[in-house]
């Protein structure tokens, strides 16, 4: 009987977090907005390229970490006869 209450509680928490995060997305730098709006097509393309360059390394790092964790998920620690733990990394 606790599982339905837990699911409802998680749903309420997710709803509250999603509603409180909305005002954060509406904030933007006024200077950045005016500069982007008054710039030409070359500046807009440079801004898009800069955003891509800033987003790409963390994304690739996260994908790499997920890949490593996925590959190592079945390895467990084993003990030798000394009682020391050994890892096969």
* Domain boundaries defined on the chain: 2-73
Query: How wide is the angle at C-alpha 37 spanned by C-alphas 51 and 25, nearest 5°?
Result: 55
In angstroms, the Cα distances linking 50 to 16, 53, 58, 64, 71 are 33, 5, 14, 22, 33
Convert the pLDDT of each residue in 32-80 to its tens digit: 778 777 888 888 888 888 888 988 999 999 999 999 988 888 776 655 5
How far apart are the C-alpha atoms of 9 and 15, rounded to whole Å? 10
pTM score over 0.95: no
Query: How wide is the angle at C-alpha 34 spanned by C-alphas 30 and 36, nearest 5°?
Result: 115
Convert the pLDDT of each residue in 2-27 to its tens digit: 677 888 888 898 888 777 765 555 55
């Amino acid at each position: 009987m606790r599982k339905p209450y837990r699911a409802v509680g998680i749903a309420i928490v997710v709803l509250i977090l999603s509603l409180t995060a909305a005002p954060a997305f509406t904030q933007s730098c006024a200077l950045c907005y005016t500069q982007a709006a008054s710039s030409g097509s070359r500046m807009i393309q440079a801004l898009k390229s800069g955003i891509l360059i800033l987003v790409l390394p963390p994304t690739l790092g996260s994908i790499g970490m997920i890949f490593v964790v996925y590959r190592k998920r079945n390895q467990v620690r084993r003990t030798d006869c000394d009682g020391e733990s050994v890892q096969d990394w």
